[in-house]
Structure 1
Amino acid sequence: MSTMLEVSGLGHRYGGPTGHQAINELSFRVEAGELACIVGPSGCGKSTLLRSISGLLTPTSGRVELHGDPVEGVPSDLAVVFQDYSRSLFPWLSVRKNVEFPLRSRGIGRDERRRRSDEVLEWVGLAESARKYPWQLSGGMQQRVSIARALACRPALLLMDEPFASVDAQTRFELEDLLLRVRKQFDSTVLLVTHDIDESIYLADRVFVLSKSPASIVADIPVDLGERDQIVTRESEEFVHLRSEVARLLQVRSAEPKRSAEAERWAEAERAEARESAQP
């Protein structure tokens, strides 16, 4: 198995030398075909990490490589699915046109755009909604459109920033299983950020656990649960064991001294900047 993503000594500080250190000396690898999850406390720097990997943010230290090439700007074979799907879709474009939009900027012809959009909309269960507009769809359906748009680009790496956090529990389960199906169908490599421990264990081949800000990796946990089922998998002894292991790691880190008010302000600024980057 070849390495798809390699992060080496990655760090980012907001506000210059005396500002807030959001992430610090992060190093890890994601192999081709893996689905890896990053889990950590709220405000620990998860979004800063994802934006640094995607090329949306230039880190202040360290290096990111995508299949051996340094990331300098947004790679053409990378796609991102944000948490705030309602702000990342164009309300004046149909579902099909939203899916086709990034393909136009890549110079892909009309017939191929239509073929790809029809294919991915079929896979996410929205073939009959192609002519509708985002505002005519439920939250879960809108997030399916976001996933379809990302998959239509045939990304080497799919980054997902808490993509299911804004939907109800049942829809979340459906979207988790959808991700597993399309990942298998398209042989995708996925890096997903979440604060939900159960979700990370259910989806991942590996779980990276982050510390409080400035984020560093405190554990790299392999997950081998075979074929996933929302009921059977979550009731299994191994799932319960892994969930407890991750929860203990996070609890220990949460018991550390709280950040200063200044650090909290920088963390909030980071979250606000992440929300801005989700806007089309």
Structure 2
Amino acid sequence: MSETMLSVAGLGHRYGGANGHLAIADLSFDVRAGELACIVGPSGCGKSTLLRAISGLITASDGEVRLRGELVRGVPSDLAVVFQDYSRSLFPWLSVRSNVEFPLRSRGLGKAERRERSDEVLEWVGLGDAAAKYPWQLSGGMQQRVSIARALACRPALLLMDEPFASVDAQTRFELEDLLLGARKQFGSTVLLVTHDIDESIYLADRVFVLSRSPASIVRDLPVDLGAERDQIATRQSADFVQLRSEVAQLLDVRTAART
């Protein structure tokens, strides 16, 4: 059994004080080392709030988050986040290589090691020839590859992803999903990805946490046994995939109906 990488216990968050909006309520789950877990739920259910609380970007009103057993207070140094809005997460005045190297400076890495890491991950995500370009010279899909490369260069214990492929076209989305699966295998990454796309969550995940509408709580912790090697056509056409998709859709629909 793999060690627990992330532990979330009794997490809750309310905006605006005691009488404010309750975004998430009493969430508890674990993510094991090397696991790729997806959080799926209806729009506005509190998924992004949950991710911000896990990352230490906000302090939750209740409960606790532990990374490798250590209580999260502020943003952990061995955690990286990939956001949906890639165009705002990259510095347009820095080259692709400099964008990837930027977070490595605060980690005390020397120039040679920063260059080695950036070149390695850029080559791996298929952007080795674009290192000297600027983000605004790249397509949206390529910019998101830069964001992923920057996160991987940090070699994080945990990679958090907030709707990372929502702003690209369908074909690019499939390519980036497969890139993520390859990165998880290549770098042994532990990944927690938030999405509202049911098919994406099942295609990518070892486990899917299905959330209710706001205030978010976990409806089901669903294991996904589709094998380590996945294919955009064959996997999505398999009977197991169709069954899992139907189960998640029903869970979301039943929960929505119960709260309206």
Q: What TM-score, normalized to structure 1?
A: 0.92
Please provide the CA RMSD for this pair. 0.5
Equivalent residue, structure 2, for 1:110: 111
Equivalent residue, structure 2, for 1:233: 235
Equivalent residue, structure 1, for 2:203: 202
Is 1:73 aligned with 2:74?
yes
Equivalent residue, structure 2, for 1:245: 247
- Aligned ranges for residues 44-193 of structure 1 at < 5 Å? 44-193=45-194
Match of 2:258, SS state, is coil
Quote the Cα distance in structure 2 between the aligned partners of 1:54 and 1:123.
Answer: 26
Quote the Cα distance in structure 1 between the aligned partners of 2:184 and 2:119.
Answer: 17
Equivalent residue, structure 1, for 2:20: 19
Q: Deviations over 1:68-126 (max 9, x none)?
A: 00000000000000000000000000000000000011111100000000000011000
How far has the Cα of 1:127 moved from its partner?
Answer: 0.2
Q: Deviations over 1:35-78 (max 9, x none)?
A: 00000000000000000000000000001000100000000000
**Letter matched to residue 104 of structure 2:** L
Match of 1:255, SS state, is helix
Equivalent residue, structure 1, for 2:258: 256
Quote the Cα distance in structure 1 between the aligned partners of 2:98 and 2:70.
Answer: 31
**Letter matched to residue 182 of structure 1:** A
Quote the Cα distance in structure 2 between the aligned partners of 1:135 and 1:256.
Answer: 45
- Aligned ranges for residues 33-48 of structure 1 at < 5 Å? 33-48=34-49
Quote the Cα distance in structure 2 between the aligned partners of 1:106 and 1:31.
Answer: 25
Quote the Cα distance in structure 1 between the aligned partners of 2:57 and 2:9.
Answer: 17
Match of 1:224, SS state, is coil
Quote the Cα distance in structure 2 between the aligned partners of 1:174 and 1:111.
Answer: 31
Equivalent residue, structure 2, for 1:31: 32
Quote the Cα distance in structure 1 between the aligned partners of 2:169 and 2:257.
Answer: 29
Match of 1:100, SS state, is helix
Quote the Cα distance in structure 1 between the aligned partners of 2:41 and 2:86.
Answer: 22
Match of 1:185, SS state, is helix
Quote the Cα distance in structure 1 between the aligned partners of 2:111 and 2:171.
Answer: 36
Equivalent residue, structure 2, for 1:277: none
Quote the Cα distance in structure 2 between the aligned partners of 1:133 and 1:18.
Answer: 46
How far has the Cα of 1:257 moved from its partner?
Answer: 3.6
Quote the Cα distance in structure 2 between the aligned partners of 1:23 and 1:32.
Answer: 25
How far has the Cα of 1:256 moved from its partner?
Answer: 2.9
Quote the Cα distance in structure 1 between the aligned partners of 2:156 and 2:259.
Answer: 40
Q: What TM-score, normalized to structure 2?
A: 0.99
Quote the Cα distance in structure 2 between the aligned partners of 1:218 and 1:182.
Answer: 29
Equivalent residue, structure 2, for 1:276: none
Quote the Cα distance in structure 1 between the aligned partners of 2:136 and 2:45.
Answer: 32
Quote the Cα distance in structure 1 between the aligned partners of 2:259 and 2:177.
Answer: 34
How far has the Cα of 1:153 moved from its partner?
Answer: 0.3
Match of 1:4, SS state, is strand
Q: Give the gaps of 5 or more residues in structure 1.
A: 259-280
